[in-house]
A and B are shown apart, each in its own frame.
Chain A
């Protein structure tokens, strides 16, 4: 029994008693459908490092967990030993609005972060779903970028520095706490999108932005995905500098509750988010509408400033897959060239006619939600689809899948990815393999 093991008392000591070993308690921290044997909840990066080292000394593995908003992400560990729960490692460490930087502990919830910043008219340009529960550390580890990256850059672009805990118990900082620095390697970038396979993100320094004084959305209907995507590319190439664009198939479009009218069932929906001064927003809206009209867009619906956040929260949930029950859908993210969004959408709809699609057409990201049904995931369908992806250089990441389909939810790694270097990075930073490697890109590590 783990509770009476000397190791458990060492762990208790390492994290001030915040260790759970009772199965009933551990069930609250599932990862990939499995419950851990123990859960340790550090409140600081040093504690996280001590836990990682102790678990490594026991020759066991751990999975780092933030707010648990992506706990259905496959593949899951075969036998889950420990969860390092970072949700209690929270709080603002330093914030100087005039410097446009904030340093926070990694378990800080996105909603809390945004509310602290909003008091000073600022925000962190990240539109991940479930902001009340999602932690900044988890969001970075999952590289859960949203459509705002079109204007503000990716999460990586807005992360300035990071303090991480490694499995040998060391704590290391890289990057800086100012908006610009080239001193040393940006080793912290390796942890963004690493899915917790290299170490624990303990503290982060972020670059924040002023909240636009005025915002608005315009939703435009199109008869085809191609017209809508082409319009999006035209807008992206224009000097309008809109904040973000999202594209939805007819079914996904009806899930955006906040829009004034639901689109007709056969229409694709392009939503354009504008921001800046009042005159700039007016110009962006008018300019975007004029471009869309040239691409046969119609029925322009504007959402005013005060309703933008509510509608956008719905849209963020669509992309993250949270609008769909995790046991009913397979969710995957595809990335490719922006101009290749229409052919990818065609290929997806050919393979899975009932799949729902949300895309960020200006950056070349497509989210597909396919109703989970063993019959639609036959080996031959999958094989043919991977071939299509490989031909057009699309890469794929699975976001969630029901346990029964975990085996098929493994995307192939394109041959251009330097597998050897990835493996060497893992071996260099986590030589004992304490951080569960099965959660990395399948087949890469």
Chain B
């Protein structure tokens, strides 16, 4: 990248806010996925106007650009594969408005997720989506990835809690999608934009919906000697008409790691535990908790423990949220999958995951949103052993194939990015991808805005490459996928 362009960026956002030294760039070359990619330069604009100016400068020179929040993404969405400009939104971190009467907040994209709820708490309100990384992950990234969290089943994902966004389009134009009110005129561009993984534009401001906090909640821990029984209890709880605020499952490998690091009080000899949270008005939560307990016991729970104090509840949730981190006990590296299956298929799919583990000789820990059927098998591998890395990747693909075979999805909340792009053809037919390519062209015709993401490019998962070679994928789709295609 030539120095005149970098100088131009410095003029636009200020000298201090452009990073071009290798040491600085390294911090922007990774996210929480396995992929790594060094950008050529990083710009940290301080306003929507500056974002638009930086994008316009990139477009002018034909440089690709990628928006980045906190870099906690799990699919490579914020990586500048092949180089280009990273546009970091972290300087834009103000909560601009908190309107308790209308239950909404207007925020800049770099505001961390948890800060919104913290600010709203004084009014008895909260921002519902709560990904595990909520202390640092930004609302801009949440919108790009349509982030989920522990409470999606009952209360929805990011897309259900955003009223409007202001975005800089791939052409550098500042536009509003949605607004502060529901049902703004025209097509639901907002709905289509959320979850587009930064490929349709850059969020520079968001209006999010706030919900009242629940009056009361109860947290239960159900302990099982068989994963099958735990899975059946999950289906039966939902089938009985109860939608818990959260319904999480962890297997033995996970609880053992968690106990060694977090000391959450989980039994380490149980095959599976369920963490179930119910919430509502004071008068009702005990009844619901009792109903959940009965279902769990019907499916041969060894023990069902109701958290007796806020401390105990907090400890249980700390254990769940610390599960990914605790995997470091086994290996510094793991490959996390994010497939979704109809929850009634949990027993079969978990058996298949276990078979994949045996076949590839890799340990796989399971910790996931059982209520959503959103499984997170963590494939543990040694990064210094190239053979093992390759096996982990193929094992991951096998698990995703199983999810799709059972009518599910290859990603529930982590996104496709670079990591899963070549598995898109497992789930979508060429005509489906063509429709998405047409949408991409509307917003991002030059394909400079986060190229090489989401659309299939090569031979992982096999299908993409085969269809490419046989001409089943059209030129329009090839264009959407970008230069690597």
Contact = CB atoms under 8 A, between A and B. Distances in A.
A180 B373 contact: yes
Interface in B184-222: 184-189, 191-192, 194-196, 200, 212-215
Nearest to A149: B182
Given A174-B435, A180-B340, A280-B281, A365 B191 contact: no
A445 B367 CA distance: 48
Nearest to A173: B432
Interface stretch (B16-24, B30-38, B403-411): B403-411
Interface in B267-307: 280-284, 287-288
Given A187-B435, A213-B241, A182 B407 contact: no
Given A190-B187, A280-B284, A395-B184, A421 B101 contact: no
A365 B183 contact: yes
B160 A180 contact: no
A364 B181 contact: yes
A236 interface: yes
Contacts of A13: none
Interface in A147-185: 149, 153-154, 156-157, 164, 166, 170-174, 176-185
B192 A418 contact: no
B412 interface: yes
A180 B412 contact: yes
Contact of B187 (A166, A176, A339, A425): A425
Given A98-B235, A170-B434, A180-B148, A198 B414 contact: no
Contacts of B410: 183
B454 interface: yes
Interface stretch (B82-90, B151-159, B390-398): B151-159
A276 interface: yes
Most central of B212, B281, B413 by chain A CB within 10 Å: B281
Contacts of B427: 176, 183-184
Contacts of A213: 241
A27 interface: no
A179 B442 CA distance: 28
Given A181-B411, A181-B412, A424-B442, A186 B343 contact: no
Interface string A289-307: 0000000000000000000
Interface residues of B, number: 93
Interface string B421-456: 000100111011111101111110000000000100
A211 B240 CA distance: 10
Contacts of B344: 96, 98-99
B346 to A, nearest CB: 10
A181 B409 contact: yes
B415 A182 contact: yes
B72 interface: no
A182 B414 contact: yes
A339 B283 contact: no
Given A209-B243, A233-B101, A179 B185 contact: no
A176 B157 CA distance: 14
Nearest to A189: B191
A180 B212 contact: no
Interface string B249-273: 0000000000000000000000000
A87 interface: no
Contacts of A181: 340, 408-409, 411-412
A324 interface: no
B372 A185 contact: no
B113 interface: no
B363 interface: no
Contacts of A211: 241
B442 A335 contact: no
A279 B284 contact: yes
B51 to A, nearest CB: 17
A100 B103 contact: no
A177 B428 contact: no
B242 interface: yes
A113 to B, nearest CB: 18
Nearest to B174: A418
Contact of A441 (B125, B185, B235, B443): B185
B429 A101 contact: no
Contact of A98 (B99, B238, B283, B434): B238
B25 to A, nearest CB: 28
A393 B179 contact: yes
B442 to A, nearest CB: 5
A6 interface: no
Contacts of B101: 233, 237, 338-339
B239 interface: yes
A210 B244 CA distance: 12
Contact of A179 (B181, B372, B432, B443): B372
Interface stretch (A130-138, A369-377, A409-417): A409-417
B239 A97 contact: yes
Contacts of A337: 99, 102, 180-181
Query: What class of interface size applies to chain A in its complex with B?
Result: 35 or more
B412 A192 contact: no
Contacts of B118: none
Interface stretch (A17-25, A53-61, A238-246, A347-355): A238-246
B175 interface: yes
Contacts of A99: 342-344, 373
A172 B434 contact: yes
Given A181-B411, A237-B100, A186 B441 contact: no
Q: Which of A97, A100, A145, A441 has most chain B Cβ within 10 Å?
A: A100
A190 B188 contact: yes
Interface in B345-374: 369, 372-374
A422 interface: yes
Nearest to A277: B284
Contacts of B475: none
A326 interface: no
Interface string B315-356: 000000000000000000000000011111000000000000
A390 to B, nearest CB: 12
A350 to B, nearest CB: 21
B176 interface: yes
A429 to B, nearest CB: 6
A177 B407 contact: yes
B483 interface: no
A194 to B, nearest CB: 6
Contacts of A15: none
Contact of A185 (B192, B243, B374): B192
A363 interface: yes
A282 interface: yes
A237 B412 CA distance: 30
Contact of A154 (B125, B182, B200): B182
Contacts of B99: 337
B388 to A, nearest CB: 27
A284 interface: yes
B180 to A, nearest CB: 6
Contacts of A187: 192, 435-436, 439
Contacts of A416: 176, 179, 184
A287 B281 CA distance: 10
Contacts of B180: 337, 393
A210 B176 CA distance: 36
Q: Which of A172, A179, A336, A339 gathers the greatest number of chain B CB atoms within 10 Å?
A: A179
Contacts of A194: 187-188
Interface string B123-134: 111000000000
A338 B102 contact: yes
A254 interface: no
Contacts of B441: 428
B416 interface: yes
Nearest to B176: A416
B287 A277 contact: yes
A438 interface: no
Nearest to A120: B239
15 contacts: A179-B153, A180-B413, A182-B415, A183-B409, A183-B424, A185-B196, A186-B146, A187-B192, A189-B188, A193-B187, A209-B243, A211-B241, A237-B103, A363-B182, A417-B186
